[in-house]
Amino acid sequence: MEPGTSIRCEMTKWGDRPHWQFAGLHLGSDEHGEWLGFPRGTHNHRPGHEFRSDVDAVTLVPVDGWHLATFQAPGIWCEVYVDITTPARWDGDVLRAVDLDLDVIRMSPEPLRDPLPWMAGPGETFLDDEDEFAEHQVAYGYPPDVVAAARSSADALVAAVRAGLPPYDGAHRRWLDELSRLTSA
């Protein structure tokens, strides 16, 4: 796919239940995988909720990983938001993956004015939605191999994000710059 190609992300929950959908741009690829860009103002919607993003963001689609990692430009409550998912697959210009509830989050380094009770402190990394993951394993019958892969991915990603290992070492900045270049033209 050429840089600047319009793409669409269609996430589902287990059992083919609709979840987040949004459009963006293919930015390119590097040793970490493919990078997608979502400019400020991108319309994100799922059943029962929608919003427009406050900042530019780029998402890494790893070759075979059980996650999608989103890196936010400064100005919102988190820097990194990693959705634990089934391995993402392309269908033409549509990226599809199943969201498996767990999220690895690194908070913004700046203190928040009104943090929510579940949020960690400035710059901290934590695993979110473990309760939802446990409930959905039973309610929706996640297969044992999916549970194991999701848990293993989440544990490895918490460690990688905390340690600042690549690509959680600032590698995303190049792609935020590319998004800015493509959208300011």
- pLDDT at residue 113, as a whole number: 82
Task: Evaluate whether 8 touches 23 at the Cβ level (below 8 Å).
Answer: yes
The two structure tokens encoding residue 166: 């690549």
Closest CA to 3 of 182, 183, 185: 182
- Other CB atoms within a 10 A radius of the CB of residue 172 amount to 23
- pLDDT at residue 82, as a whole number: 98
For each of the domains in the chain, give its residue range(s) and CATH number, in order of start: 6-172 (2.40.380.10)
Overall residue count recorded for the chain in this entry: 185
- pLDDT at residue 185, as a whole number: 66
- pLDDT at residue 175, as a whole number: 98
- Other CB atoms within a 10 A radius of the CB of residue 103 amount to 22
pTM: 0.95
Residue 160 backbone phi and psi in degrees, to 5: -65, -45
**Which stretches of the chain score pLDDT less than 70?**
185
Task: Evaluate whether 170 touches 161 at the Cβ level (below 8 Å).
Answer: no
